[in-house]
Amino acid sequence: MPKQESTNRVQEQARKQVRDLNGFDYNAPAELFPNKRFDTAAEALRFAVEEIPAPALMGAFLEVDEARFGAHEIRYLYENAAYPLAHDVIRRARG
C-alpha cells in the first residue's frame, strides 16, 4: 500500500473517531477489552473509570458499533455532559 494511501486511511479513521465521540450512543452494546461485555456503553464506561485502576486502563479499549476508543476517549466520554449515569465521586477522587 502506498504511503499516501495509508496516511489518508489513518486520517479518515481519525475523523470518524471524532464524529463518533460527538454523536456517541451511550445506550449501544459495548465491549471493554480485554473481554468484558456490557449491555450499554454507559455501563462499560462506568466500569472502566470507577473500577479499573488508572494504570491498567491505559492498555484497555472500548468497542462500540465497530469503533474503538482508548483510555483518553473513555475518560472523555465518561466526563462528558451527555453521560447518562450518575458518577461515583468518591471512587473517582481515589482514582
Give the pLDDT confidence score for residue 94 in this predicted structure.
44
CA torsion, points 39, 40, 46, 47, in degrees to nearest 10? Answer: 30
- First-to-last CA distance in the chain? 43
| Residue-number span of the structural domain to which 38 is assigned | 3-94
Residues 1, 73: Cα–Cα separation, whole Å: 29
Helices 41-51 and 71-79: crossing angle in degrees, nearest 10, is 110
Prediction pTM value:
0.71
Q: Which residue has the cell 472500548?
A: 62
Q: What is the pLDDT of residues 25-62, one digit of tens each?
A: 899 999 999 879 999 999 999 999 999 988 888 888 99
Average pLDDT, rounded, for the chain: 80
Number of domain units in the chain = 1
